[in-house]
Amino acid sequence: MLATLRTVLMALLLLTTASTAYATAFPLRISDERNYLVDADNRPFLPHGDTAWSLIAELTKDEVDVYLADRRSRGFNTLVVSLIEHKFASNAPANAYRARPFAEGRPFEPNEAYFDHARWVLSRAREEGFVVLLTPAYLGFGGGEEGWYTQMQAAGTQKLEAYGRYLAEHFRGLDNIIWLHGGDYDPIDPSIVEAVINGLRAGGDTALAAAHAGPDSIPAQVWPKADWMDIETIYSYSDVHRQVLERYQMELGRPLLLLEGFYEGEHDSTEQSLREIAYGALLGGAAGQVFGNNPIWHFSGPGIYSVEETWREALASRGAQSMTHLKTLFDGIEWWTLAPASVDGPVRAEGGRLMTAVAGDRSWSVSYLVAPMAVEIDPVALGTGRLSIRWYDPSAGIMAPPLEVSAEQGKPVTVAPPAQQNRAGFADWVLLVSAGE
């Protein structure tokens, strides 16, 4: 493993994109270890997502192709998408071609033209290698006017079950779908969501499924008897690393996915705060993470926070670039063997913030640090007397040359980042440590 780790880290210096060397084989499934996803060829799959909620409702086919090509080139492999849009599209609930999902006054009675376009979008996403976390009917924050909760209650469980059966039949063969039930809300009436799920099952659908609960809610507690839930999601505007770590320690027996944190272009986020969310999730025990950008999540449709740039201009945002560098790094390591380090882990920091994950055999570790005054590495915790240390600039995707250090009689080794600030002028760095030669 150690030789392999050194080899792939050297290869990182040569990588210019985060594209993988192989195409994902669908469908995905849960690993035998129950804590991450694998593809149909049993290769570990790290969901590296982008929020594209209004993709189906807002964009034309040509625009869909532009978006997918860009996101693929940046290493994204997962999309979060709303199948039917209630508010956040220019012609909501109609799509860019003025096709409505349902006839006026007849909610949840599908209009073939709308869902044919949706199938085209999902098929194109599959061709480009994307898994799609697809929300069949977004409930809306607080069950309010942003989503379909009120209309679902009015429609009733019988009609909603029929809607679920229709989706199973209409999207049959699209094995890149993971159903994302709910949407920004813990429903008072869960039966309306369960009716759609029951309809999908009755229609023969076997796709994986997850829930999008309210902020800081725990889906496992919101849906305690949900035998349909394959993936546990985290949605938090607080300390993401802490939230993920706490969920990891619950040992729920299913993979954790950071579904949503602060988006770029909202809540005064910075590229560093976005990196802190993403790295915090993956080093806290998540088996995937999703990035969000305003205006990309709603494209040209109405959003919640004002923004001056167009979605095309936002494609090359600093946040998106940071996510590409993250994916490049994780493509070069056996991330699925990592587990969050305890307080007595191999890396300690004085000042600033530290997040560390350690390989299962404890032979190497990855740390994300923000403004540390000093970094101390314990060679005993890694079972070696000689360390190979590498610093990675997460803002630029640059790996520094290895630093080989011999520990004196197992004493801790003190090191510092290459500079106080990285290439983008922020204070965050990634540290990789393994046994030296």
Rg over alpha carbons for the chain, rounded to the nearest Å, is 22
Residue 122 lies in a domain: yes
> Which pLDDT belongs to residue 258?
98
Mean pLDDT, range 37-60, rounded to an integer: 98
Last residue of a domain, one of 336, 351, 370: 336
pLDDT-derived band at 435, boundaries 50, 70, 90: confident
Q: Do 87 and 217 sit in the same domain of this protein?
A: yes
Q: Do 293 and 145 sit in the same domain of this protein?
A: yes
Q: Do 331 and 346 sit in the same domain of this protein?
A: no
Residue 244 lies in a domain: yes
Beta carbons within 8 Å of 138's beta carbon, 6+ residues apart: 53, 82, 84, 85, 86, 146, 147, 148, 183, 184, 212
**DSSP β-bridge partners for residue 355:** 368
Beta carbons within 8 Å of 163's beta carbon, 6+ residues apart: 108, 110, 136, 137, 155, 196, 199
Question: Tens of pLDDT along 92-148?
Answer: 999 999 999 999 889 999 999 999 999 999 999 999 999 999 999 999 999 999 999
Mean pLDDT, range 334-341, rounded to an integer: 97
Q: Do 307 and 182 sit in the same domain of this protein?
A: yes
Q: Do 286 and 346 sit in the same domain of this protein?
A: no
> Which pLDDT belongs to residue 19?
43
Residue 207 has pLDDT above 80, yes or no: yes
Q: Token pair of 264, please? A: 């770029």
44 preceded by cis ω (within 30°)? no
Mean pLDDT, range 27-36, rounded to an integer: 97
Residue 164 lies in a domain: yes
Q: Do 377 and 309 sit in the same domain of this protein?
A: no
Domain, as residue range, for 109: 18-336
Please give, one letter per residue, the 3-state secondary structure of 294-330.
CCCCCCCCCCCCCCCCCHHHHCCCHHHHHHHHHHHHH
Residue 182 lies in a domain: yes
> Which pLDDT belongs to residue 382?
87
Q: Token pair of 252, please? A: 């729920």
